[in-house]
Chain A
């Protein structure tokens, strides 16, 4: 339960934060959420990775489907990737990694509540 709660909170709060702050707000959100929701550090990493990853994946897919892959295909070519799917994968992976690492750090530094 804690895991799913973390994932959903991270996804939703970072989505909200990004509309007001620069992109690295997602790292702050993942860190803070896992600092407050107690979990094993490994699970926190997964929660951070999934939370930001899900949010970024959703955002990419919303943009990309409305855009008919025009931008993603050109960006993929720019980064020498074979197709637009890989550009989405790279985007989601980068977001996930940032979220995961931040959440992991949060879980380890979290304030002592017990």
Chain B
């Protein structure tokens, strides 16, 4: 008893109390990038609150600030079918539902757009945030916000949408926050119309962001002119433009400007000025087949925009019903309306157009005055824009950005690490202009016929898109849509001289003069990021990344199709036949130098038996892809030395040069023949390297194509635990099923516009953004397997008896 009393000395009690308090303190505080463990593990309020019951009954009776009663029917895939009696209620509910299922994603994407990531994850995102600010993302979004709020239709649409999101956010307490907020340690903030504007700029930047202007500026000096034109043709031989050859274009209403002398137009760079890395791969396919060439007699439209593969998915399926509108399709959480889809009259799809709408100007600062630059013989003041970047756990970072007559100076001498090109360049980008794509969405969703479709897309200015169209009357059409500038030849293809007014952007081309075709004789329209027109289109334009391999394959298949069915379309979207392999491999096998076969005979045999399909389990696909990559790299690396940004000739151009197959050696060779000879030599060298690589693969992960290319659908916070990798899917960027490493078909859609609309779709994700929900990635495996969901297009009435409906929200005002 005595010992007991002694042990109960309060001193030990206080020590233990301090220990316990410290334990709680540590568990309640984030350490480094680790979240507060106690707070996170807490089964009531922490991560466990995101464990959504698999049988959760989503049905509810809700009281909202809507003006009339409304209904939301959720089908068994959790696609909401929203029925409202007016626009306000409709977009309020769409906002509420986007937030309900995807809030964290919307928050993160708009932070990423506007350079506000450091606020929540700290200094490691600062360089990224600065880059976003310096390219004028916030500036562009502000301009577009003004345009959107100036139009009463889009203003009302955005206001209601924002109100709906905020209604949801206001209903949350810590327990109900999406899991990622608890993991990263921040809280949702109120939504604004500006955030929607930022999200739309994010898409514009994603689709018009990459540039090869700087590298090409260097290359045109580095390579002899003849060789430059040979390697970087503006239209590749055999290109099948989006507008079928023979399409007659209207006479231009604007005079085509004459190009200024080269010495005035373009500056010159040295290799030492560079270091930028190039990105590629945002390609997409769409096509529409006229009723005259389908089995059912109804027009069919197909679309699969290739974008970053992420979870939560970029897209969210939704049906929207209001008086005069019944539309279904893929929406972007963060923006109201349906972006790609169909309504009860027509359907539309988009692919990236890639006409250059982003130019760079070399700025000449005034040496004696840092606040001025030279333009047209005068000294002009930079207008200064101050960007304040919040950084978690640190004071704000202030970045002052110089704006010129062309746009913001993104690349500066004193900020080499931000820009890599050590010259002050100003960016002139269509995305900086105040454009209102949301109005196009608003009108598209309500369009009844071709004319209304055209009226709608006249508001779609940036990012430029190839808009395919089909309707229930059997019409098909395609527009190379966007706002473009009346350019002189080669304007903007290279970095331009920023001191001369001759290089300024001229007037805008009236959008109705954009290339388009309605019901062409060939019976179909298609686009896959190739050049828009043949050379008969009157206006000048330049390229920022046109590719041809998918377009060749699509046109080849569509040409041969007389009685197309929906099944045929599924097969086509999942086609993995490689035109690159079919065009290159026979030549490679022919010119390879025999003695290099050591150890590689069996691979040659495998390749000889191959059908040129990049199937998921194909070993031949792996051997070819590795061999081709090495051949391509070995050739251009040697030929071009340290070319900035690795802007090497297109793969298909390389293939064409390989196909020349010069036999007569010894005579004077043309530049083409010289390159062909180099390629042929490199075939053997690269094959020896290929044998090494394949041997290594055999000993490690295996040679199945899907294992080697590793298509991954990654969580937006890059958490492998919430991501899916090594998906068993075939294809690559050069096949219609363009499933690359982290890019691919983000929304496969097939719509047959018959008397009954028959529609199918699938995206690599699920309707819920919650990693603890069974709806998080439930479409992913269908997508991998090339399977589709039938889309339940409900009639526009306030009562439904569709068996697919699982849950109902009854909404009262």
Contact = CB atoms under 8 A, between A and B. Distances in A.
Interface of A: 15, 18-19, 22-24, 27, 31, 40-41, 56, 59-60, 63-64, 66-68, 70-72, 74-75, 77-78, 90-91, 94-95, 97-98, 101-102, 104-110
B765 to A, nearest CB: 15
Contacts of B174: 22
Given A24-B38, A59-B44, A101 B20 contact: yes
Interface in B1-27: 4, 7-10, 12-14, 16-17, 19-21, 23-24, 27
B53 A66 contact: yes
5 tightest A-B CB contacts, nearest first? A108-B13, A71-B772, A109-B13, A59-B43, A77-B721
B41 interface: yes
Nearest to B9: A108
Contacts of B51: 63-64, 66-67, 70-72
22 contacts: A18-B42, A22-B28, A22-B39, A23-B38, A24-B24, A27-B24, A40-B4, A59-B48, A63-B48, A63-B49, A64-B51, A67-B53, A71-B771, A72-B51, A74-B771, A75-B47, A78-B183, A78-B719, A95-B41, A98-B38, A101-B23, A107-B13
B773 interface: yes
B393 interface: no
A77 B675 CA distance: 51
Interface string B32-68: 0000011101111111111111110000000000000
B722 A74 contact: yes
B10 A78 contact: no
A56 B43 contact: yes
Interface residues of B, number: 47
Interface of B: 4, 7-10, 12-14, 16-17, 19-21, 23-24, 27-28, 37-39, 41-55, 174, 179, 183, 719-722, 771-774, 776
A51 B681 CA distance: 76
B54 A66 contact: yes
Nearest to B28: A24
B722 A108 contact: no
Nearest to B7: A41
A105 B49 CA distance: 30
Nearest to A40: B4
A64 B51 CA distance: 7
Contact of A77 (B10, B37, B720): B720
B42 to A, nearest CB: 4
A67 B772 contact: yes
Contacts of A24: 24, 27-28, 38
Nearest to B34: A79
A81 B88 CA distance: 48
B617 to A, nearest CB: 26
Given A68-B54, A70-B773, A102 B45 contact: no
Main secondary structure, interface of B, reads helix
Main secondary structure, interface of A, reads helix
B722 A78 contact: yes
A48 B21 CA distance: 15
A74 B772 CA distance: 8
A105 B17 contact: yes
A49 to B, nearest CB: 12
B722 A27 contact: no
A22 to B, nearest CB: 7
Nearest to B776: A70
A68 B774 contact: yes
A110 to B, nearest CB: 8
Contacts of B37: 94
Nearest to B17: A105
A94 B26 CA distance: 12
B47 A71 contact: yes
A70 B722 CA distance: 11
B721 A70 contact: no
Given A23-B38, A70-B51, A74-B771, A63 B43 contact: yes
Contacts of B719: 78
A105 B20 contact: yes
A66 B613 CA distance: 44
B41 A74 contact: no
A94 B41 CA distance: 8
Nearest to B13: A108
Nearest to A64: B51
A94 B705 CA distance: 44
Contact of A98 (B24, B49, B50, B722): B24
B113 to A, nearest CB: 26
B17 A98 contact: no
A98 B9 CA distance: 21
Contacts of A31: 17, 20
B101 to A, nearest CB: 16
A74 B44 CA distance: 18
B43 A91 contact: yes
A105 B16 contact: yes
Contacts of A60: 43, 48
A66 B55 contact: yes
A22 B29 CA distance: 13
Contacts of B183: 78
A71 B9 contact: no
A47 B786 CA distance: 56
A41 B10 CA distance: 11
Contacts of B45: 18, 22-23
B771 A27 contact: no
A109 B44 CA distance: 29
A106 B28 CA distance: 21
A16 B53 CA distance: 22
Nearest to A24: B24
A78 B179 CA distance: 12
A14 B27 CA distance: 17
A111 B720 CA distance: 51
Nearest to A101: B20
Contacts of A67: 51-54, 772
A70 B772 contact: yes
Contacts of A59: 43-44, 48
A34 B608 CA distance: 79
B54 A70 contact: yes
A106 B37 CA distance: 23
Contact of B44 (A23, A41, A72): A23
A75 B721 contact: yes
Nearest to A104: B16
Contact of B16 (A68, A72, A98, A101): A101
Nearest to B47: A75
B8 A108 contact: yes
A97 B771 CA distance: 28
A23 B46 contact: yes
Contact of B17 (A64, A90, A109): A109
Nearest to A45: B16
Contacts of B772: 67, 70-71, 74
A74 B768 CA distance: 15
Contacts of B53: 66-67
Nearest to B773: A70
B401 to A, nearest CB: 38
B43 A90 contact: no
